[in-house]
Amino acid sequence: MNLFTRVMIGLFATGTKATGAASTNLPDSDPAQGLMGVAWQNGTSANQANQSYHTSATPASAAAVTYDFTTGLADKFGDAVVLAAVKALFIQNTGTTTLTITGTNGIVGSGFTLIAGESVLFAVGTTGHTTTNAKTIIVTNAAGSAGAYTILVVGVTS
């Protein structure tokens, strides 16, 4: 597979408020923005990526699903996904329950939760998090009803 990856995220917020005398009522604004973007060409070196994996799942109430990025996964072409490092991870909670994200991958740290409709994106720079001893992501659905989510991971095979 030949892979080109672009990660783009931006947050723009502009507040406006009428200031001055009522006769002039001039708007004043307070724009704020946060931008981040990276692009990786195909390859296994710094600033490159050569493998991706994505899936959508609907786990049952209180079910946990483990993703091991070194074994047992296949991409949409049927090829094995065996990552040496994870460079980007996107998780979107498309359901109505809360998801708990844990695992042994350095990206998730001690874990976090995603409420219904919430998304998270980690893009980890030039070399990524190695999967030598930190290779899994575990998605656990809250009790009560079935959940739904999408995962996308990008990394390198060596």
pLDDT at 17 over 90: no
pLDDT, greater one: 13 or 147:
147
31-47 per-position pLDDT tens digit = 778 888 888 999 999 99
pLDDT at 26 over 60: no
Classify residue 29: in a domain, yes or no. no
Classify residue 111: in a domain, yes or no. yes
Domain hosting 104: range is 41-156
CATH code of residue 46: 2.60.120.10
Classify residue 24: in a domain, yes or no. no
**Cβ–Cβ under 8 Å, residues 98 and 142:** yes
pLDDT, position 71: 92
Q: Which two tokens stand for residue 68?
A: 């091991």
72-128 per-position pLDDT tens digit = 899 999 999 999 999 999 999 999 999 999 998 788 888 999 999 999 999 887 888
Amino acid at 12: F
Q: How many domains does the chain have?
A: 1
The closest of 46, 43, 42 to 128, measured between CA atoms, is: 46
- Distance between CA 83 and CA 67 in Å, rounded? 12
